[in-house]
Amino acid sequence: MTGTEAARMALPQGRRSSEVSRLLRCGFSDVSVARRLLDAPELAGVCSGSVLLEGLGATADPDLALRGLVRLVEALPEVPETSEMPEIPGDGGDKERIDSRQALLDALITVGPLRDGLLGVLGVSEAMGDHLARHPRHWQALVTDKAADLPPTTRDVERALAEGVWGEPGAGLSRPDALRVAYRRALLAIAARDVCGTIDVTQVAAELTDLATATLRAALEIAAEERPEDAASCRLAVIGTGQCGGRELNYASDVDVVFVAEAVDGTEEAKAVRAATRLASRLTRICSDVTIEGTIWPVDADLRPEGRDGPLVRTLSGHLAYYQRRAGIGEFQALLKARPVAGDSALGKAYVDAVGPLVWQAVGREDVVSYVRQVCRRAVGDIPGGDVPGVGADREPKLGTRGLRDVEFTVRLLQLVHGRSDESLRGGTTLEVLAALAAGGYVGCSDAAALSEAYRFLRSVEQRTQLYLLRRTRRVPQDEADLRRLGRSLGAVYGWDRHADPVSELGAAWRRYAREVRRPHVKLFFRPLLDAVARLESGRVRLSRQAAEQRLKALGYADPAAALRHVEALASGVTRKAAIQRTLLPVLLGWFADSADPDAGLLGLRKVSDALGKTPWYLRLLRDEGAAAENLARVLSAGRLAPDLLLRAPEAVAVLSAPEGLRPRGRAHLEQEVLAAVGRADGAEQAVAVVRGVRRREMFRTAAADVIASARLLNEVAQPTVSWPPQGGCGAPAIPPTARFPHGVRPAVEVPSALRDCEPHVPARLSNRTALPEEPAGPGALVDMVGDALSDLNAATLAGALRAAVRDTWGDELPTRFAVIGLGRFGGHELSYGSDADVLFVHEPREGTDEQEAARAAFAVANEMRRLLQLPTVDPPLLIDADLRPEGKSGPLVRTLASYAAYYRRWSLVWESQALLRAEPVAGDPDLGRRFIELIDPLRYPAEGLGEDAIREIRRLKARMESERLPRGADPTTHAKLGRGGLSDVEWTVQLLQMRHGWAEPGLRTTRTREALAAAHAVELITTEDAQTLDEAWILASRVRNAVMLVRGRPGDTFPTDVRELAAVARYLGYGPGHVGEMLEDYRRTTRRARAVVERLFYDYEN
């Protein structure tokens, strides 16, 4: 026990408690350890006063600072090792030469920047404490730094590093290790100025960059010293890019560089490039290698032409050839910050002079639009919940949402868009470019100022987080002690209340600044577009119309002048409508830019606004309902069908406000609504007009749900809503996922909604008490959702038309029972947006009714239904197709049940039996419909299966259809219905299995293709791989048909030829911009594999 400890133990209890309280007030967490360290003999003579304790209490982590200080003092010699000691000011300005330890102790009891800098560094950086313990005399770097009047220049740092490598301090060390030690010594001085607040966050970044520049030069000199022959045969320049080029390095950043070389006179170019490559490789290892003296930082040359796959070093002409022919806009953006940092300065300048103009020429290229929109798309992603670091928030100040990267990319994109015509925007750090953009009116001054302040804070968080261990991390820590250290460190800079909880203060600041950084593209890209068309107060700089159109064109608007006129019409005026739309437009413009057709989205918004702008609920809906505005933007810019449906009844926009509004209504719900509407209407035409209005509204609901869910699939991995096999007796075993999926989408295997139960139909929503179903999970579930919804909707529509036709002529009851049987995709619940309704009409005279009278009544009702549903109105017609009836168009439109029985018994052909596989009652008398199904079951599922003759006939018909029905000039590899591996191939294969084995396997007796496929797999009629292949092809072809109708507003079975329409189809299918070719290739590959399965299973080619 030391004498100090003994004396302290002899103190009364009250005195000891007072000392503990004092340590706690100073910020120590572990008081017992702090007391033990303060009693250490190394600190004897400096602990009696309050100066040292006050200095420790002002640090970010007093415990860490005290531990580092004791280690430093222990490492210092008690006797001077050399006469070359620093001069320490004493009383009266006298200079004393005393031993190193005593010099440090004297500095610790002197209030001033030297003490504060040293203790501050020890309290914020464990890595710097480790370095000082290993090289204790480096604390003297702070003495030298304190004596300097101005911050060191790059030349000053170069001289200091040279002294540390080639001078006396480097003696006994290898050159690379000496450089590592000298680098840490210089870094110590920067950190001290940082924690003392002598320099701000931008100056810290600039000084760190100057240090990196000097280090690269020293490393290259070492490499040249080691390889003099290589150095003599080439000229090598190191070009700084990224944060190094932009003077924005952090404490532990990678240093991005590009190497360019030329041969010296008399040396072959190839030999010179090899020599330069060896020098560049050695430079990289000197900086990146880890030894007993630690490491400096990784040198990253991945921004060179071709990235990691390209050569490390190229000649200037090689660089130019690549940038002129092959470079993408993202590579040019990386060159915005390029500057020479080391090596041959003339060659470096020639590189920058030659490459610089190419950057601005590239802005005019077509791919700049897709690149800008791609970056904006990243920014418009959903903001995750939570704000406070360590409490569920996104903890990455740089890469996370609401982070530095969003601001940097947005600023650089604006620099690309406008720098071509305004040279004042070229070059500079992120904050300098942001200030130039504000000065030029390209962004709002207040937005720029707020973002600048937030950017500085987040950059400070990143720098202080990295300073602790000098490791490249961008994540804010979660540990309470780490957050406390970070909070106290920043609190000294931002003047937070010292008595408040530093973690709470840090969380509050994070929330405040994160709000400013949230979606910076909205503030910087889109909000100034409103200023360009608004009346501003005198003296305020605005974005010019020319610059606004330039920006809109970069965002993908084909007609920027028209787009700006729409913006002006929406945002102009002093009305409440204009004020709310000015608030919404910046975000909406971003969502439109994320689509395949921004112009259509903006035009649609203007039309909807003109129709509903004076309706109070509309603007309130968009302003207050979080999802409504985004959903509207997605729907308006997805194609023609959904906007056309909406614009015929704009009030349907209300369904976009909540998830339940986008869930299709079930058949029972729809029938109840349409039958009630028919009962209130005057006359059949008015009644069916109301019914068709309901159909239009529900088609919009379904299309909107489809578009919005597809947009979600573009950015998310789908999750299944149900399992395979489904529960409830269907018994279809799982088919593992073996298929390939579109770019950006990896949906899990899911099953059709039909497989969730074995009933013909389960309404999606019977009442407000019914639990809402889960949203569709993947592409297959979306196809099932659309098919179910449209089939239920058409069935309800037919029910309403039937009631209207009967009521007008016969009152409440027909003289005959009447039923409508759905066939084809209608009966199979597999309708697409452009499908007709394939039906059969069946009737049965009531007792005592003349058969001819009953037949005339049934015929009249069927004809009236067809007429009413095809009347020219603003609503889409429902075409009823009865051509699959016995004898086709030559046969009677309506037959009795007995007539059907007689025909099928005597004349039925195998193709008619096949057509009946998807027959299902959809409207009319339910008992008659049930008995019709009982009548046809033996036909479609013949006992003992199909004979060989019937199988040959089906194959012959299929082959004939392939050769005759494919439209002239159509590409068989991309025709969704009749092409190879398309819908027809898959459906005929499944139907052949149903007809051959349905008599023995109840699971095959279904009208739904995917359910029948799963049932065939369950009883091992088809392998897992084949079932999955057919299922994937069927889903993809179905989605293509849906996409074509959504995009073009008219049905089609082939991909559009128009570039924008094709891009919109690709977007719907889950492919990002620029991946249209990949979509077509994926489609051909998927259907080609399906065709191979069809040829084996349907045509039996292997046998």
**Domain regions of the chain by residue span:** 22-147, 202-362, 371-574+586-612, 662-712+762-940, 948-1097
Please give the CATH architecture assigned to the domain spanning 662-712+762-940.
2-Layer Sandwich (3.30)
**Region of 639 on the Ramachandran plot (φ > 0 left; ψ -120 to 50 alpha; else beta):** left
CA distance 408 to 336: 12
CA distance 462 to 389: 13
**1052 CB-near residues (< 8 Å, 6+ apart):** 834, 1041, 1044, 1045
CA distance 876 to 1051: 13
* Amino acid residing at 648: R
CA distance 406 to 400: 8
Find how far residue 988's CA is from the centre of its chain.
Answer: 39
CB 728 within 8 A of CB 757: yes
**Cα atoms in the 13 Å half-sphere on the side-chain side of 311:** 17
Nearest C-alpha neighbor of 209 from the set 160, 162, 261, 153: 153
Give the tens place of pLDDT for each residue, 93-138. Answer: 433 434 478 889 888 888 888 999 999 999 999 999 999 999 999 9
pLDDT of residue 41: 86
Strand duo 920-924 + 816-822: pairing = antiparallel
For the chain, give the longest Cα–Cα distance: 132
CA distance 48 to 37: 13
CB 790 within 8 A of CB 833: yes
pLDDT of residue 919: 97
Secondary-structure percent of the chain, ordered helix, strand, coil, rounded to 5: 60, 5, 35
Token pair 């569920």 is at which residue?
Answer: 392
Q: In CATH terms, are 202-362 and 948-1097 the same topology?
A: no
Query: What distances in angstroms separate CA 661 from CA 182, 772, 813, one per listed residue?
Result: 66, 10, 36
CATH number of 202-362: 3.30.460.10
Residue 237 main-chain phi, psi, to 5 deg? -120, 140
CA distance 254 to 249: 8
pLDDT of residue 361: 84
**291 CB-near residues (< 8 Å, 6+ apart):** 176, 177, 180
Give pTM, 2 decimals: 0.74
- For residue 351, the SS3 value is helix
CA distance 690 to 681: 8
CB 465 within 8 A of CB 60: no
* Amino acid residing at 236: L
CB 181 within 8 A of CB 440: no
- Measured in residues, the chain has a length of 1103
* Amino acid residing at 174: S
| The domain over range 371-574+586-612 is classified in CATH as 1.10.3470.10 | no
Could you give the residue ranges of the DSSP H alpha helices within 657-722?
667-680, 684-715
β partners of residue 261: 236, 315
Find how far residue 789's CA is from the centre of its chain.
Answer: 29
Q: Which two tokens stand for residue 431?
A: 């904050």
Give the tens place of pLDDT for each residue, 141-194. Answer: 988 776 666 788 999 999 999 999 999 999 999 999 999 999 999 999 999 999
- For residue 313, the SS3 value is strand
State the average pLDDT for the chain.
Answer: 86
Nearest C-alpha neighbor of 457 from the set 386, 391, 499, 407: 407
- Options 3.40.50.720, 3.90.1150.10, 1.20.120.330, 3.20.20.100; which CATH number does 948-1097 get? 1.20.120.330
DSSP codes, 106-125: HHHTS-SHHHHHHHHHHHH-
Nearest C-alpha neighbor of 545 from the set 534, 532, 558, 535: 532
Could you give the residue ranges of the DSSP H alpha helices within 907-1058?
910-915, 926-940, 948-964, 983-997, 1009-1018, 1024-1048
Binned average pLDDT, 10 residues per bin, the chain of 1103 residues: 44 65 92 91 79 93 96 84 46 43 88 91 97 95 76 92 95 97 97 94 97 98 97 98 95 97 95 98 98 96 94 97 88 89 98 92 69 59 39 53 76 84 89 93 89 94 95 86 95 88 93 81 78 60 85 90 94 86 88 90 93 84 83 94 92 89 94 95 94 96 95 58 33 37 34 28 30 59 96 98 92 91 97 95 94 95 96 93 93 96 93 95 97 96 92 94 89 95 97 96 96 96 96 98 96 94 94 90 97 95 65
CA 237, 242, 243: angle at the middle one, nearest 5?
105
Q: Which two tokens stand for residue 25?
A: 């007030």
CB 1017 within 8 A of CB 1027: yes
- For residue 866, the SS3 value is helix
CA distance 186 to 589: 48
Count CB-CB contacts under 10 A for residue 261.
Answer: 27
- Classify residue 91 by its DSSP letter: G
Find how far residue 265's CA is from the centre of its chain.
Answer: 52
CA distance 602 to 526: 13
